[in-house]
Amino acid sequence: MRIQASLGIISEDPLLRKDLSIFAERYGFSAQVSIAPQSWKIEDLERYNQISCWLVDEPFFDLASDELAQYIADLAVPVILGLEPFSREHELREREFSFLIKKLIQHLHPNQSNEVFDIWVLAASLGGPEAVKEFLDALPQDIPASFLYAQHLDEVGSKALADVIGRDAKLPVVAIDGMCELAPGVIYKVPVDSSIDFTNGVCFKTGSAWQGEYTPSIDELLRRVSFTYGNRANVIVFSGMGEDGADTAKDLARRGSLVWAQSEHSAVSDMMPKSVIEKRICQRIAAPKDLAMLMTAYYKNTGIS
């Protein structure tokens, strides 16, 4: 589920206003108002009152009229003050965007829900789509967990992946684009073109490249999921080449998370599952369909629904 919000931008700097409009569009917000302080008009009050959150730059109080300053001070909606121009260097700018979206989500989505559910990373590479599809097809619709499917793939192949794995699954498949609220009983396809991060129950694209040899980086994804969700972050390692995710999976197991793996004999490529199996950290090792049956039984036995 996307977070719907309209943003108001007040800045003397036209470049900052442009960057903030790009930022809003990327994450699915509407930049309904984008003005310099001098352009604020009392006649437009009805339009201003439709704004969900205001983004205001550093020089605002030096340039704003008393009337505008009082209007901003009296607002009941969130106001993020003191914004400065973004860096023109791409990676630094993306980190600044990421910092701002976290702050914005915390204001607009305070995570008031009492719903608590597990997050499972489905980690795969060569032979992964077939294995993950078999696993997902066997899950019931009411499974009380959320799934992040991280498949090593290039961007072209990634675009068709959601349709392939969701064709016969009982759970909906959502490609993470911009940001979305995580919910149980949903499969989220992790993007290859950008790393993702989490805050207040929301997952968002950072705009920065994945670190390391693979895209997406399963090690990086597991670190971020574990940092946010603690021992509610779990992983299943499916068929694949290499050992991406193995070291971080060991850290997760140490913190009380569940680490499961596809059996070596059922995998097209056994290197990835073997890399975690050999660390002796796996509570369950089975073929994909059997892993789905084991997960269904696990949640039935623990009484989580």
Q: How far apart are CA 208 and CA 195, in angstroms?
A: 6
Annotated active-site residue in 11, 34, 52, 125: 125
244 catalytic? Reply is: yes
Catalytic residue among 57, 146, 152, 219: 152
For Cα atoms 167, 173, 178, give the angle at the middle one, nearest 5 degrees.
Answer: 140
Element (H, E) at 120: strand 118-124
152 is catalytic: yes
Which residue from 174, 176, 163, 16 is spatially nearest to 96, judged by alpha carbons?
16
Burial 193-230 (b: 16+ CB within 10 A, else e): ebbbbbbbbbbbbbbbebeeebbbbbbbbbbbbbebbe
β-bridge partners, 234 = 120
Measured between its terminal Cα atoms, the distance across the chain in Å is 20
Torsions phi, psi of 247, nearest 5?
A: -65, -40
Q: Give the neighbor-by-neighbor strand order of the sheet with 53-57.
A: 30-35, 6-10, 53-57, 79-83
Catalytic residue among 244, 266, 270, 275: 244
**How many other C-beta atoms lie within 10 A of the C-beta of residue 157?**
13
Q: Are 135 and 176 in contact (CB under 8 A)?
A: no
Is 118 an annotated catalytic residue? no
φ, ψ for residue 194, nearest 5 deg? -155, 145
Distance CA 72, CA 255 (A): 45
Cβ-proximal residues to 299 (8 Å cutoff; 6+ apart), any chain: 143, 144, 145, 305
Q: Active-site positions?
A: 125, 152, 244
